[in-house]
Amino acid sequence: MGSERMEMRKRQMSVQQESVAGGTAPTQQDQQGQGNRGSNACCFCWCCCCSCSCLTVRNEDRENRNRRASYDVKGEGTGEIEDSPKPTVEEVRSWGQSFDKLMRCPAGRSAFRQFLRTEFSEENMLFWLACEEFSKETNKTIIEEKARLIYEDYISILSPKEVSLDSRVREVINRNMLEPTSHTFDDAQLQIYTLMQRDSYPRFMNSPVYKNLLKSLSEQSPES
């Protein structure tokens, strides 16, 4: 009986040792596999992060260039009414004589733009001002760049600031954009000018924007 018990103990100890030895090897392999996967993951993440960072920098540079160029195109259009010289009461009264006199006066354009903002049609004035600056450009490279920006800002149907143009004028612009010149947007500028003259100008003359400005200047005038 004693020898049988000893034999059974030996067998149990042998089984336990085999079990422990068998479990250790896979664990080490698993750890090695996990280590390899972790190393690859880190490498992959690093590459992705590096790539994303490079793309982000390039996109930011492109956006910054577009913003600077867009600011140059808009010129006066970025200013507010306070930035213009204060008009005299005579000038404000002359605005009622014709739309041309209103548009020739910097303060008049600013006041009119403030009114257009209340009607959600400020893009008409911004487009007209951009075209005025664009028509004075002589450098071919700058003309091509500004023509693209004006098209993207005011002509493209995807732009939130798209101006209302008929199909004929749009076709002319699309042809002109193949080889832009300082006259690329002449027809469109005239059409928007006419639209503002016929549609917005009469309402501006009857608006609080104009009447309050005229009243304020009249009260300050020594003649009143």
For 23-55, write each residue's pLDDT tens digit: 544 444 444 545 444 444 444 344 444 444 444
Within 10 A of 104 (CB to CB), how many other CB atoms are there?
Answer: 12
Which whole number is the average pLDDT over 111-115? 96
Question: Can you tell me the mean pLDDT for 8-27?
Answer: 55
Question: Is the pLDDT higher at 113 or at 224?
Answer: 113
What's the pLDDT score for residue 85? 80
Would you say residue 115 has pLDDT above 80?
yes
The domains located in the chain, with CATH, are: 89-220 (1.10.167.10)
Answer whether 0.85 is exceeded by the pTM: no
Residue 111 has pLDDT above 80, yes or no: yes
